[in-house]
């Protein structure tokens, strides 16, 4: 074509390289596919969780359960026990308190009649001090109450309720009603004129 000749464009035909007014660039087919796949995955996520899928872990730490309190340990109240001879004590009141404590702890009252002037009474006390397990065996079954008897206080009114004393010390077991169920002089615990711990333990074990 001659250099002076010009190609004739139909009216309304745009120049090459210029977009037509009112139309944006065409989207790429690959971009449309990625958008569709993403939307499909988002739509399927709730269904996966409802059908047993794993839910996202909670960022909050689990609170520890409070520790259970330790059970309380039961203790035997031996405030009613009388472990010393005392001529000034009210023996009747001591016995009443011991009977109440014995009923509350399912034990019995054990009267130990004697005095600190008595050699055999001191030997029995020394045996309990020398063998703590023997004293524990006594206290496990009885509430012990020492009742003084001597020239300065014979406690006749109290001791009249129980069998007559022929020896001190004498151990008198009381039942729940306060009546004597057995009375045993310490001579019954002797072996070769000495106190035998095994015989004392057998007495505490019961008839």
Please tell me whether residue 49 adopts helix, strand or coil conformation: helix
- Residues 190 and 184: beta-carbon distance below 8 Å: no
- Residue 143 is predicted with a pLDDT of 98
Q: How many domains does the chain have?
A: 1
- Residue 62 is predicted with a pLDDT of 53
- Residue 193 is predicted with a pLDDT of 87
Q: Is residue 42 part of a domain?
A: no
Q: Is residue 97 part of a domain?
A: yes
Helix ranges (H only) for the chain are: 29-50, 91-105, 119-130, 132-141, 156-159, 197-205
Q: How far is residue 143 CA from its own chain's centroid?
A: 26
Gap between the Cα atoms of 46 and 190, Å rounded: 90
- Residue 22 is predicted with a pLDDT of 46
Structural domain that includes position 178: 91-205
- Residue 19 is predicted with a pLDDT of 45
Which residue bears the tokens 């035997």? 76
Residue 118 to residues 41, 122, 168, 182, Cα–Cα distance (Å)? 101, 6, 7, 22
Whether the full predicted model's pTM is greater than 0.75, yes or no, is: no
- Residue 207 is predicted with a pLDDT of 77
b/e 24-38 (16+ beta carbons within 10 angstroms → b): eeeeeeeeeeeeeee
Q: Is residue 164 part of a domain?
A: yes
Q: Is residue 45 part of a domain?
A: no
- Residue 41 is predicted with a pLDDT of 55
- Residues 110 and 101: beta-carbon distance below 8 Å: no
Q: Is residue 68 part of a domain?
A: no
Residue 104 to residues 72, 88, 180, Cα–Cα distance (Å)? 18, 27, 19
Q: Is residue 37 part of a domain?
A: no
The pLDDT tens digits along the chain (207 residues) read 444 444 444 455 444 444 434 444 555 555 555 555 556 555 555 554 455 555 455 555 555 555 554 444 344 568 999 999 999 999 999 999 999 999 999 999 999 999 999 999 999 999 999 999 999 999 999 999 999 999 999 999 999 999 999 999 999 999 999 999 999 999 999 998 899 999 999 999 987
The CATH number covering residue 186 comes to: 3.40.30.10
Q: Is residue 44 part of a domain?
A: no
Q: Is residue 125 part of a domain?
A: yes
């Amino acid at each position: 074509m001659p250099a002076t000749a010009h190609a004739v464009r139909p009216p309304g035909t745009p120049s090459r390289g210029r977009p037509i007014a009112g139309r944006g660039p065409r989207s790429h087919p690959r971009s449309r596919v990625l958008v569709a796949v993403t939307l499909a995955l988002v739509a399927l996520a709730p269904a996966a969780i409802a059908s047993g899928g794993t839910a996202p872990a909670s960022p909050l730490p689990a609170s520890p359960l409070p520790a259970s309190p330790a059970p309380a340990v039961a203790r035997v109240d031996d405030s009613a026990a009388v472990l010393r001879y005392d001529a000034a004590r009210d023996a009747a009141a001591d016995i009443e308190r011991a009977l109440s404590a014995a009923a509350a702890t399912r034990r019995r009252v054990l009267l130990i009649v004697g005095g600190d002037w008595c050699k055999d009474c001191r030997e029995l006390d020394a045996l309990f001090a020398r063998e703590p397990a023997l004293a524990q065996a006594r206290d496990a079954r009885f509430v012990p109450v020492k009742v003084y008897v001597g020239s300065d206080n014979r406690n006749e009114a109290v001791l009249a309720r129980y069998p007559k004393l022929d020896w001190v010390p004498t151990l008198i077991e009381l039942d729940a009603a306060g009546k004597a169920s057995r009375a045993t002089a310490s001579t019954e615990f002797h072996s070769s004129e000495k106190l035998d711990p095994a015989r004392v333990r057998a007495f505490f074990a019961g008839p």
